[in-house]
Amino acid sequence: MNDIIITISRQYGSGGRQIGQKVADALGIPFYDKEIIDLAAKESGLAVDFIRGQEKQLTQSLLFSIVTNVTASGGTFGPNVLSLADQVYLAEANAIRQLADKGPCVIVGRCADGVLKREKPLLRVYVSADLESRCKRAVGEYGDKEETIKKTVRDRDKQRARYCQHYYDQAWEDADNYDLCLNSDTLGIEGCVKVICHARELLSVK
Amino acid sequence: MNDIIITISRQYGSGGRQIGQKVADALGIPFYDKEIIDLAAKESGLAVDFIRGQEKQLTQSLLFSIVTNVTASGGTFGPNVLSLADQVYLAEANAIRQLADKGPCVIVGRCADGVLKREKPLLRVYVSADLESRCKRAVGEYGDKEETIKKTVRDRDKQRARYCQHYYDQAWEDADNYDLCLNSDTLGIEGCVKVICHARELLSVK
């Protein structure tokens, strides 16, 4: 199996995106993150900025989605009318499928493991780190505000967890839902890259 | 750091014990599982069979422990009198500390990561597998009854989760609480052994 697709779920500030990029570089395969938004926008007709905005307000969107559905059953909207959050979800899931169809790659975020489960051979990776180092990275590397950083980090994780729960009925932080979970504090960014590449190699010869 | 202690938490039937034994063999370091019971018995004066029995009925014991404490505050027992479950817990935790003091080793179960956290350099591993293969292994290798196997497997996991929650306020199945989580279905027993040894090597040179 050399057609394995690596999906990376990551706690906010854990360095999971960087790890994914480095894994893709090391293996010489494509890395997809923002590309998913571009393709989703192109195929769905939704604007890139709109999709980005929806991703950032995910929790609110999902609540809106629930409210919309309730209203819909009441009358104004038909049952086949999708909420904006659901439209973005579908556009991104379709983009993930299209990118995965091209061959082996690394895909970060958006519950790609949930989208591709049962469709593609996967190595489902989750990257975590201690809260302190995540806050440090988010402030130092992502430019988040220091004053509210703990809340920012926790809120982003909650959003990701709710998204997975909502669309895949899956506990995002539960080790059982992954093939490999790594702590980037313990192993370091480069260590995580090496362990992921090693695991993929083991799967390839399995 | 070549003094790393590897702790292995594992879903029932995931093959985590076997993986731990093989990791210890590959690294030429001791493997501790039942040895913890023997040492705990020796040091505490509790009988080996009694400790084994307590481990098997963990959930009930913890409930008993809570009830005992409530009663204690009422009068018959003083606040310093420990429940039987707590006595077993303390005896095992002491045994784990004594064994860890001897040097690098692999310790399976009993929330050893919780006992040794902040005391020793650890590689905290969690091994999971799909329910179907865990049931198959539990029937085929551990000799559990086929008729009730799903319940047995789930009950054992619940016991382990409650133990961790009770004594360490820690979600047992949560990836964030480990350095490395592996699915033994995806990677295979030998694959898991290799990835753990690789991760330990990376830590040793860190």
Of the residues B5, B153, B202, the best mutation for testing chain A's interface (the one with the most A CB atoms within 10 Å of its CB) is B202
- Please check whether residue B179 is in contact with residue B120, taking contact to mean a CB–CB distance below 8 angstroms: no
Quick: pLDDT tens for B24-40. 999 999 999 988 888 88
Share of chain B above pLDDT 70, in %: 86
pLDDT of residue B176: 92
- Spans of all domains in chain B: 5-204
Banded model confidence at residue B137, pLDDT cuts 50, 70, 90: very high
d(CA A111, CA A97): 12
Q: What is the CATH number of domain B5-204?
A: 3.40.50.300
Of the residues A186, A194, A206, the best mutation for testing chain B's interface (the one with the most B CB atoms within 10 Å of its CB) is A186
pLDDT of residue A75: 44
pLDDT of residue A78: 45
| Residues in chain A with pLDDT values less than 50 | 64, 66-79
d(CA B18, CA B22): 6
pLDDT of residue A170: 85
Residue of A nearest to B9 (CA): A175
Q: Is B128 helix (H, G, I), strand (E, B) or coil?
A: strand
pLDDT of residue A45: 82
pLDDT of residue B206: 60
pLDDT at B62 over 60: no
Q: Chain A residues with CB inside 8 Å of B174's CB?
A: 173-175
pLDDT of residue B75: 45
pLDDT at B133 over 90: yes
pLDDT of residue B22: 97
Share of chain A above pLDDT 70, in %: 86
Residue from B131, B94, B133 nearest B110 by CA: B94
pLDDT of residue B80: 57
Report, as an integer, the average pLDDT of B121-131: 95
Greatest CA span in chain B, whole angstroms? 56
pLDDT of residue A206: 60
d(CA B97, CA B204): 21
pLDDT of residue A58: 60
pLDDT of residue B84: 78
DSSP symbols for B86-138:
HHHHHHHHHHHHHHHHT-S-EEESTTHHHHHTTTS-EEEEEEE--HHHHHHHH
Q: Is B112 helix (H, G, I), strand (E, B) or coil?
A: helix
Encoded tokens for B174:
């949560």
